[in-house]
A and B are shown apart, each in its own frame.
Chain A
Amino acid sequence: MNKPLVSIEHVHFKYEGQEEYALKDVSLQIYDGEWLAIVGHNGSGKSTLAKLLNGLQYPEKGRIQIGELELTEDTVWETRKLIGMVFQNPDNQFVGTTVQDDVAFGLENNGILREEMVERVENSLKQVQMEAFLQQEPHQLSGGQKQRVAIASVIALRPQIIVLDEATSMLDPRGREEVLNVIRELKEDHDMTVISITHDLEEAAKADRMIVLNRGQLYREGTPEEIFQLDEELVKLGLDIPFPVKISKMLREKGIPVSKSYLSEEALVAQLWTSHSGK
């Protein structure tokens, strides 16, 4: 976690025909092997940032360095191999007619030989526990299953970084948990770097580091503990704070000594039920 894997320097970006800059002077580093959560209100520029990382758009000013390469139109096909993207809508990123064809799509694009493709398709589907669905068609799958196929398609290409752009926001709680667990396992097994754009603050609270975007600008960066200390400020930015943080704050206002703002329910409960025995 020392050398930055991605470094974004003073990036400005504006969509064609738009007055406002979608990103203004954004600089940040992403480190090898970390889980970075990006939060911000609707339209704050999160998806735009993701698109820039993948060379789907190019900055107007500033530079983006990925690994050894500077991201430009000449290197985009190389850098794209390092970054896999999972998008929000499970249906609109399913290209193949069946699960296996969808996973193979990215491999075909990269000219991987067939024998290797067969192996990689099988392997990556196994890693997301979808190996039993090889022949299924997308309309026979649930949203969570489709997202897991999308993840399999990404890891089949063996990227170093995986970007989730609200990849779980259209799923029910169970589907969301399934998908996040798969990502956590993959991250452990392959030392991947995860960039998760999310509105789910409970999820963001589990990240190693958080970034808050506000109107196209980097508002704050820090650990989840640091970010959620901001409290009222976050609410002003149109964000919420996780439930356990809210509760511990209210308890403290009532005069109940809860030492710090807990990010997980379990930690808070543990502190509460042992609070008397400590005395």
Chain B
Amino acid sequence: MMDKMIFGRYIPAESPLHRMDPRSKLILVFAFVCVVFIANNAITYGILVVYTLFMVLSSKVPLHFLFGGLKLVFWLVLFTLILHLFFTKEGEIIFQWGWVTIYEEGLKKGIFISLRFFLLILMTSLLTLTTTPIEITDGIEILLDPLKRIKFPVHELALMMSISLRFIPTLMQETDKIMKAQTARGVEFSGGPVKERIKAIIPLLIPLFIGSFKRAEELAIAMEARGYRGGEGRTRYRQLRWGLVDTLMLLLLVVIAVALFFFRS
């Protein structure tokens, strides 16, 4: 189950998308979310599908991996499609069998809306699949930089994000250790009625929480000892580079958006 999840996973590869600056990728995905809503007929949706396919291919993420990971999303998309088929009662009847009636508009709307939903998911997955979490954090920090002027704690948020990212594997290891220790004391984590299993979580969560507080305190001391005093006057080690690919990719999306305006009905 965990192995198949692709949300938040990063797949290392050498591709134009991997080489892109996280800032441009974030802007691109955000813009795409808006652009998708311009489409309203077969041609415009066709353009979007071709564009998304182009992006998928240029990401070099293995297709079986990408679509295998989106299985759950397929079911959701199918569900939206069926809902629309049954509940939209406009246009001509194209199919009737017993009490099931399907209207033309229902079919059209169903397909369009599920397609839109699917393309959005695909594009956001591409972002996380081709960008390391820390790059995303850096990208967000720099993009939100202007907000510092209105005293929005951009640096602090980014630091919080990067520290959480750093500690996720550590906490996973710790959870595993505590689980083993509690199993040795007779707690059963798998099997048994649901009520028992929920109860079993408590002896897992409490040590985990206490441990995390201790970690947080020690980490804060270690950070201070290394001269951390907030975002002021700090320099950056990791650098972001805006390249030709970034400009081209954004231009491509602009072209797509113009084409959509042109062909929409």
Binds B, one of A93-101, A216-224, A227-235, A239-247: A93-101
The docked-state distance in angstroms from the alpha carbon of A246 to that of B222 is 37
Interface residues of A in 79-98 (CB under 8 A from B): 80-81, 84-85, 87, 89, 91-98
The docked-state distance in angstroms from the alpha carbon of A107 to that of B133 is 22
Interface residues of B in 217-232 (CB under 8 A from A): 218-219, 221-229
Cβ distance B134 to chain A, nearest Cβ, rounded Å:
5
**A105-B226 in contact (CB<8A):** yes
Cβ distance B158 to chain A, nearest Cβ, rounded Å:
12
Query: B230's closest neighbor in chain A, by CB?
Result: A109
Query: B163's closest neighbor in chain A, by CB?
Result: A95
Partner of A111, one of B224, B234, B239: B234
**A114-B235 in contact (CB<8A):** yes
Q: Which residues of B contact A104 (CB under 8 A)?
A: 237-238
The docked-state distance in angstroms from the alpha carbon of A93 to that of B167 is 11
Query: B166's closest neighbor in chain A, by CB?
Result: A97
Interface residues of A in 238-269 (CB under 8 A from B): none
Count of chain A to chain B residue pairs whose CB atoms are closer than 8 Å in the complex: 92
**B224-A101 in contact (CB<8A):** no
Q: Which residues of A contact B225 (CB under 8 A)?
A: 54, 56, 80, 84-85, 87
- A93 and B237 in contact (CB under 8 A), knowing A80-B227, A109-B229, A139-B173? no
- A109 and B222 in contact (CB under 8 A), knowing A96-B166, A97-B162, A139-B169? no
The docked-state distance in angstroms from the alpha carbon of A104 to that of B236 is 9
Q: Which residues of B contact A54 (CB under 8 A)?
A: 225
Q: Render B167-187 as a binary contact track against A, CB cut-off 8 A, 1 for contact.
A: 001100100000000000000
The docked-state distance in angstroms from the alpha carbon of A95 to that of B134 is 13
Cβ distance B110 to chain A, nearest Cβ, rounded Å:
43
Partner of A87, one of B218, B227, B229, B233: B218
Chain A residue total in the interface (Cβ 8 A) = 40
Partner of B166, one of A84, A89, A95, A112: A95
Partner of B237, one of A81, A107, A154: A107
The docked-state distance in angstroms from the alpha carbon of A109 to that of B227 is 6
Query: A109's closest neighbor in chain B, by CB?
Result: B227
The docked-state distance in angstroms from the alpha carbon of A107 to that of B233 is 11
The verdict on B215 contacting chain A, using a C-beta distance below 8 Å, is yes
- Looking at chain B, what size class is its interface with the partner chain? 20 to 34
Q: Which residues of B contact A56 (CB under 8 A)?
A: 221, 224-225
**A153-B173 in contact (CB<8A):** no
**B227-A110 in contact (CB<8A):** yes
The docked-state distance in angstroms from the alpha carbon of A98 to that of B219 is 16
**A111-B221 in contact (CB<8A):** no
The verdict on A121 contacting chain B, using a C-beta distance below 8 Å, is yes
**B234-A108 in contact (CB<8A):** yes
**B235-A89 in contact (CB<8A):** no
The verdict on A208 contacting chain B, using a C-beta distance below 8 Å, is no
The docked-state distance in angstroms from the alpha carbon of A137 to that of B133 is 13
**B222-A87 in contact (CB<8A):** yes
- A91 and B215 in contact (CB under 8 A), knowing A56-B225, A85-B225, A110-B227? yes
The docked-state distance in angstroms from the alpha carbon of A153 to that of B223 is 11
**A92-B134 in contact (CB<8A):** no
The verdict on B165 contacting chain A, using a C-beta distance below 8 Å, is yes
The verdict on A143 contacting chain B, using a C-beta distance below 8 Å, is no
Cβ distance B133 to chain A, nearest Cβ, rounded Å:
8
**A111-B222 in contact (CB<8A):** no
> Given A93-B218, A104-B237, A114-B236, list of 18 further CB < 8 A pairs?
A87-B218, A87-B221, A87-B225, A93-B222, A95-B163, A95-B166, A95-B226, A96-B162, A97-B133, A101-B238, A104-B238, A106-B227, A111-B235, A112-B235, A118-B237, A138-B166, A138-B169, A139-B169
